[in-house]
Structure 1
Amino acid sequence: MATFPVVNMEKLNGEERGETMNLINDACENWGFFEIVNHGISTELLDTVEKMTKGHYKKCMEDRFKDMVASKGLEAVQNQIDDLDWESTFYIRHLPESNISEIPDLEDEYRKVMREFAKELEKLAENILDIFCENLGLEKGYLKKAFYGAKGPTFGTKVSNYPPCPKPDLIKGLRAHTDAGGVILLFQDDKVSGLQLLKDDKWIDVPPMHHSIVINLGDQLEVITNGRYKSVMHRVIAQPDGTRMSIASFYNPGSDAVIYPAPQLVNKEEEKSNIYPKFVFEDYMKLYTAVKFQAKEPRFEAMKTVEDRVNSGPIATA
């Protein structure tokens, strides 16, 4: 089994740039995931985000989660649970407009730190997208423009904690799915594992590493790259010991962005067979919400039925 791809981003600035770009391209084509180190976000900021996130969970969310478990009788389940995830979460929207000031229970210092973290992640996401453009032979900024829509991209963060689970064989931390959107940047616990991806019909652990960011690709990048890059199924396995922190930030198209394969990545024969559809991202999300934990291919097929009414026009520029 090939080793999970880990990319040292500093090597993009030196003699090993070509080799590093190839590693990223291979990860996008064959894994749908890779992990980056030396990515430019300070370790001090990452440590503060982790400390405050774990503190907020202990203070404001842990008892609520225990009450939910007790009310549903989950500690005594005997059969597999297929309609519930063993996670405690809240969601922050950053773009096009932030809602962080409206989220209850967050201390002011935590809000400030998460705003700073979001700015760093937004820059990193756009840098990653330009690396993809270079590898794909697209002009710099193409993917950012493709995501833009009328008000820019949508960008938000799902803050999750996965508490110890008494029946990890019967309850998933998070059921298997592909992500609907663009590029996902995950800051995860470096001590408690649980994230797995599906490769060659086998579940493979995404290694927890100190101060790393895990990158994974969403369905929209698969469409825009005409299937050259793939979104892949992944899941979180609940653990019997330790609470796993997961902060996943989603850099996605704007709700009105029109998504379709980049013309440079479609050859004439494929054009006739029309492999991937053209659609408005918001329409895709409406469908995805209902069938998130099912295979992605029927979603793409369903989008073909609405393709006729989508007028692509030129890609809006930032």
Structure 2
Amino acid sequence: METEGKTMRMETVPENLEWSLSTASVQELMKDQRLDGVLPRYSRDVDAIGDICEVDVPHIDMAKLMKEEYNNSQKTELLKLRSACKDWGTFQLVNHGVSIGALKGIRESVKEFFELPLREKMRWAQRPGSLEGYGHAFVTSEEQKLDWNDILFLKTLPPDCRSYDLWPDNPSHFQRALETYTEEMRELAVSIVKYMVKGMMMTADGLEAADDGAEEDHNKLFCESLRRGNYDVRINCYPPCPQPERVMGITPHVDISAVTLLVECGNTPGLHVLKDGRWVIVPPVDGAILVNLGAIMQIFSNGIYKAPDHRAMVNKYKERLSIVTFCYPDPSLDIGPSKQLTGESARTPPIYKTVTNSDYFHHFFNLKQAHDPFLDSLKI
């Protein structure tokens, strides 16, 4: 494996999507002053970009959701949340309660890490058989098109899942910043999912479904499972590109989490969400955290909520850094539709299968292609 050159190769071919072939560092490619175009493995047809538009993504106010007494203001915000989850699958969350200190600490740490020389970053390079560490994701062959990014992927919660030997100690404050940040993101995930589930049980005019004993307990169990669940962090670096219209920062996909929380490290737009067949630009919003619904939430809502296709595009002149936290329920919880929505009293048949947590992930990581229609494969 070369650590100073452009390409880092492994002889072993990945058996599934749980690990990735090593490829060139895109940051290092961009340091080559001779590169005035896009290398063939990154170049895509312009038609693949599709139609792009600018429409305001919904904004949800966490402070209004958390009012101690249920009132019209909270009810209105719950209906907005339900609509955002149903029609978009994504929204900007404001007044979210994550501390300024935690956000500042992780942003500074991420920026400093990606400013390190390649030789230093390679101290935490991915190893065969794992996606953890510095490198790339879902590169399974020497022929596939590559995304225009470098990543650092780490398992963060519960603490006993951490591979601290892959957590950078340069900059020196990185590990502590990530620990603090992840704890606060867990609290946010637990809170926002509770309101998502509450909104899921409302009708369009704001009426709430009646409680139904054990079936209602299934909803509570799902919400509480986020506190004991697994949390992974993927830090993305999208270097500037001489021909941004010919590459993808990240290929279109649906997250497999319950929810995904995205924090931008600057004001460079890059995230696109698919809405009604068109790609919508989602610019960074000062002070907001973007919430994206994952496949688990679409399944749990029995298709009421959507996990949107989304992608990342890149900029000709500016680097973009983002921090993405994937939030999963407790591994002991089976993944399937809410019993309160599909139980006997609801009389609504389940659209999706109920599978064990391990079967759910085994199914995803052993797809023939990284972007097969995963959700469709779990339908009854």
Q: TM-score, normalised by structure 1?
A: 0.80
> What SS is found at the alignment partner of 1:156?
strand
Partner Cα separation in structure 2 for residue 17 and residue 272 of structure 1:
28
- Is 1:8–1:36's contact at 8 Å kept on the other side of the alignment? yes
Alignment partner of 1:144 is 2:207: no
1:261 aligns with 2:325: no
Look up the match of 1:227: 303
Please point out which of 94, 113, 117 is paired with 1:56: 113
1:233-268 CA distance string (max 9 Å, x none): 000012212111111101113445311111211266
C-alpha displacement at 1:133, in angstroms?
2.3
1:10 aligns with 2:84: no
CA distance in 1, matches of 2:119, 2:150: 8
**Distance of 1:141 and 1:272 partners within structure 2:** 20
> Could you tell me which residue of structure 1 aligns to residue 102 of structure 2?
45
Q: Distance in 1 between matches of 2:182 and 2:121?
A: 26
Percent sequence identity is 24
SS in 1 for 2:245: coil
Equivalent residues of 2:342, 2:350 under 8 A apart:
no
What secondary structure sits across from 1:41 in the alignment?
Answer: coil
- Tell me which residue corresponds to 2:325: 249
Cα contact 2:190–2:224 (8 A) shared by 1: no
Partner of 1:287: 363
Tell me, yes or no, if structure 1 residue 35 matches structure 2 residue 92: yes
Cα 1:5–1:174 shift into 2, 3 Å: same
**CA, structure 1 residues 276+155, in 2 after alignment: closer, same or farther (shift >3 Å)?**
same
How far off is 1:197 after superposition?
A: 0.5
* 8 Å contact from structure 2 (residues 167, 175) kept in 1: no
Structure 1 gaps, min length 5: 66-80, 305-318
Q: Which moved more, 1:263-272 or 1:113-122?
A: 263-272
Identify which of 190, 195, 198 aligns with 2:274: 198
Partner of 1:103: 166
- Could you tell me which amino acid in structure 2 is paired with residue 142 of structure 1? L
Cα offset, 1:281, TM superposition: 2.4
| Paired residues of 2:149 and 2:237 also in contact (CA < 8 A) | yes
Cα contact 1:11–1:20 (8 A) shared by 2 = yes
Compare the two structures and name the one with the higher helix fraction.
1
Corresponding residue number in structure 2 for 1:154: 230
CA distance, structure 2, for counterparts of residue 6 and residue 218 of structure 1:
18
1:92 aligns with 2:154: yes
Normalising by structure 2, we get a TM-score of 0.68
Structure 2 unpaired stretches of 5+? 1-53, 123-142, 202-215
Correspondence list, 1:176-195, <5 A:
176-195=252-271
